[in-house]
Amino acid sequence: MPRVVDPAERRREITGAVLRVVRRDGLENASVRNVAREAGLSMGSLRHYFATQSELMAFAFRSVIERIDDRVAGLAPEPDPRERVERTLLQLLPLDDERRAENEVWLAFTTRAAYDRALRPLRDEGYDALRAACHSMITDLSAAGLAPADVPDQAGRLHALLDGLAVHAAMRPDLHTAESLSAIIACHLDGLAVECRAARRPGGADESGGAEPGGGRGEPGR
């Protein structure tokens, strides 16, 4: 009898094949033909799922998002806000082979989306999801007294930090190791807590933690 194909298993096989081809040969070589060969499938079998390279790339990008979401959802419950946020942030950075592959697909996809209009909505969806995650994490830290009250600004800083680390790690993995990336995240979170304490000193903030005119970091009141 012919083997019954498990769609979920086939999806994992194709995702793994895309990641391997992109890491080894670059996104431009992640064609339907090359991915089919890598996955041990016929061209006809793969085209049953994807008619074009853009469809294949969109699938790979969404798969990366889902893999990250699954890892974060699978983290053990953590009551401490600082520890919870730090553990989540580390899931978003290329600290091992699996996450380095995801990072390279992420960067290659966003680059391709600059000239492939069909990919832009998904690119924007990924961007917005990460931005929202940063906002949520800063909100949690701020509520616990571990980050300043200007949540939108701090979320933007965190988002920029994550994107910058991802690019640097892809360009110079020899310099930006798992240890150094983890240390930068820890240092940033430490800095947020210091800023928050400084803003709450007498003359620096009101009792709600909001910045007073001329207080906080020497910036105008918000």
The residues of the chain that CATH labels 1.10.10 are 1-51
Q: Does domain 1-51 have CATH number 1.10.10?
A: yes
* Burial class of residue 184 (count of CB atoms within 10 Å of its CB; 0-12, 13-18, 19+): middle
The residues of the chain that CATH labels 1.10.357.10 are 53-222
Given this model, what pLDDT does residue 203 score? Answer: 61
Q: What is the pTM of this model?
A: 0.80
Weakly modelled stretches of the chain, pLDDT under 50? 1-2, 205-222
Span between the terminal Cα atoms of the chain, in Å:
70
Q: Does domain 53-222 have CATH number 3.60.15.10?
A: no
Instruction: Read off the tokens for 117.
Output: 């209009």
Given this model, what pLDDT does residue 3 score? Answer: 58
CA atoms 68, 70, 76, 82: torsion sign: positive
Given this model, what pLDDT does residue 211 score? Answer: 40
Task: Give 147's DSSP letter.
Answer: S
Given this model, what pLDDT does residue 140 score? Answer: 97
Alpha carbon distances (Å) from 176 to 95, 106, 134, 163, 167:
9, 17, 22, 13, 10
